[in-house]
């Protein structure tokens, strides 16, 4: 009987985690926060949920709450590289204005549209990168604008800053 209850609880946790991930993939960060918080209420030592919650808060520019979530993840697992990397990024951001460019523009790239097909796509390295305070605000999935001028390709973020 007790084993079945444990199995049922684990299924509930996994189902909610899948829902939170799906919401994040749709850029529905407020909804993802609510689902992740419900997981934490029932499973207060779920490391992955604290990492997801921190990511959702950071996507909305709620950096203090993101830091708190990532610190809780580190308290559960002191060597957690995801939490540590995100805390480092948030420390570089500080309370910088515009730390959530995706929220300000409402634009995010949809992951499933990225393909790499020979002859139709290319991968290149960027030269003359922007200052670290510009780059730290850019995250995977943020929409950028490509501009060609004088045979050079420039990448601009949502605020119009060169990346």
Range of the domain at 18: 2-95
pLDDT at 28 over 80: yes
Check whether residue 12 and residue 81 sit in a common domain.
Answer: yes
The Cα 153–Cα 61 span in angstroms is 29
pLDDT at 126 over 80: no
Query: Is 104 part of a structural domain of the chain?
Result: no
Look at residue 105 in the predicted model and tell me its pLDDT: 45
Query: Is 102 part of a structural domain of the chain?
Result: no
Query: Is 36 part of a structural domain of the chain?
Result: yes
Q: Which of 95, 119, 134 is the last residue of a domain?
A: 95
Query: Is 162 part of a structural domain of the chain?
Result: no
What CA–CA distances, in Å, run from 101 to 30, 56, 86, 98?
Answer: 16, 14, 17, 6
* 92 touches 137 (CB < 8 A): no
pLDDT band at 74 (very low <50, low <70, confident <90, very high): very high
Q: Which of 95, 120, 144 is the last residue of a domain?
A: 95
- Exposure string (b/e) for 55-92, b if CB count within 10 Å is 16 or more? bbbbbbbbbebbbebbebbbebbeebebbeebbebbee
Check whether residue 119 and residue 66 sit in a common domain.
Answer: no
Residue 9: give its domain's CATH number: 1.25.40.10
Number of independent structural domains in the chain: 2
pLDDT band at 92 (very low <50, low <70, confident <90, very high): confident
Look at residue 102 in the predicted model and tell me its pLDDT: 45
Check whether residue 89 and residue 128 sit in a common domain.
Answer: no
What CA–CA distances, in Å, run from 132 to 1, 72, 84, 161?
Answer: 56, 27, 18, 12
What CA–CA distances, in Å, run from 74 to 55, 69, 115?
Answer: 14, 9, 34
Over residues 145-162, the pLDDT tens digits come to: 888 888 888 888 888 888
Check whether residue 57 and residue 125 sit in a common domain.
Answer: no
Query: Is 142 part of a structural domain of the chain?
Result: yes
Look at residue 98 in the predicted model and tell me its pLDDT: 45
The Cα 23–Cα 32 span in angstroms is 5
* 56 touches 70 (CB < 8 A): no
Look at residue 57 in the predicted model and tell me its pLDDT: 96
Share of the chain above pLDDT 90, in %: 45
Over residues 33-71, the pLDDT tens digits come to: 999 999 999 999 999 999 999 999 998 989 999 999 999
């Amino acid at each position: 009987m007790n084993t079945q209850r444990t199995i049922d609880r684990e299924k509930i946790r996994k189902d909610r985690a899948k829902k939170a991930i799906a919401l994040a993939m749709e850029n529905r960060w407020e909804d993802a926060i609510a689902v992740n918080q419900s997981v934490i209420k029932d499973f207060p030592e779920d490391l992955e949920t604290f990492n997801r919650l921190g990511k959702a808060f950071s996507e909305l520019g709620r950096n203090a709450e993101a830091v708190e979530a990532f610190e809780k993840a580190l308290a559960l697992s002191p060597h957690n590289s995801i939490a540590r990397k995100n805390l480092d990024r948030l420390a570089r951001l500080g309370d910088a204005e515009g730390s959530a460019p995706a929220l300000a523009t409402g634009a995010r790239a949809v992951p499933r549209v990225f393909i790499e097909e020979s002859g139709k796509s290319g991968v290149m390295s960027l030269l003359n990168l922007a200052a670290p305070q510009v780059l730290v605000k850019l995250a995977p999935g943020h929409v950028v604008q490509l501009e060609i001028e004088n045979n050079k390709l420039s990448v601009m973020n949502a605020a119009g800053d060169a990346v």
